[in-house]
Amino acid sequence: MLKLAKTKVLFAEDEPFMRNVLEATLANQGLFPRGFSDGEEALEVLSGGSYFPDLVLLDFVMPRAHGLHVLKQIRMGRTAQPRNLPVGLLTGISDKRTVALSIRLDCNAFIVKPIQKTMLLERMERMLSQRQEPKAHALYDMVDVGDPDGIVELGEPDEELLPYSIDDHKMRLSLSELKPGMQLIEDLCLTSGDVVVPKGVAINEDLLQVLSDLEKIAELRPVAIERRKYGGGD
């Protein structure tokens, strides 16, 4: 993995065995990992101004400060790091409701547990190529991730969000059918009704890759785009 050689990786994982495995895996590939047992320790280092990693890996559920809280602080510019620092989240199948919040915070990749080395390295290579301009502070600020030591409990989705229909002005596509440049005319949601990407967002390659990661742990509804603009209309 020549592209990753000497890459500085900060990661936070509260489970000691997983933390040791992750550190050994990265070090054996010629990377420079620096691991922490909770998000607060990671935030202190990210905010200190003396260490600047090339990318960050965060567990969702950690004591003192969970992964979404750390991600939000980075995107809001509350650390010493660039706001567009690549951040990947280590996820399990039980995290599928909170992943919607992380996409709104411009998470760059999901790495599904149990972690496989090939998948981990592929995701990290991809993350290093994703340095998009960060969104306005206000868009990140409105994402409610709850208290630092307890991920926000998302309420049950409004029943009005659950049914969806097809009409003459829309066409619905699966994720595999989406192309860069297409624009959402409805919120993109999990089948639970939780909004992952709000309407009006234009699809790009980076977003497609993150959504592809997400599909491994959660089910997405078909995506609504404008029929006349992208085909199927008169």
β-strand 8-12 against 32-36: which pairing, if any?
A: parallel
Q: What is the pLDDT of residue 2?
A: 57
Q: What is the mean pLDDT of residues 125-142?
A: 87
* Rounded Cα distance, 218 and 4, in Å: 29
3-state SS assignment for residue 104: helix
Count the domains in the chain.
2
3-state SS assignment for residue 7: coil
**Residue 1 falls inside a structural domain:** no
Q: What is the mean pLDDT of the chain?
A: 83
CATH number, domain with residue 121: 3.40.50.2300
Q: What is the pLDDT of residue 32?
A: 96
At 86-110, the pLDDT tens digits run 999 998 766 666 777 888 899 999 8
Instruction: Report the range of poorest mean pLDDT among 40-44, 101-105, 175-179.
Output: 175-179
Residue of 180, 192, 200 whose CA lies nearest to 219: 192
| Per-residue pLDDT band at 166 (split at 50, 70, 90) | very low
* Rounded Cα distance, 101 and 140, in Å: 10
This prediction has a pTM of: 0.76
Q: What is the mean pLDDT of residues 25-47?
A: 95
Indicate whether 166 and 136 sit together in one domain: no
Q: Per this entry, what is the length of the chain?
A: 234
Q: Single out the residue in 96, 123, 151 at which a domain terminates.
A: 151
At 184-212, the pLDDT tens digits run 888 888 877 777 888 888 888 888 888 88
Indicate whether 76 and 175 sit together in one domain: no
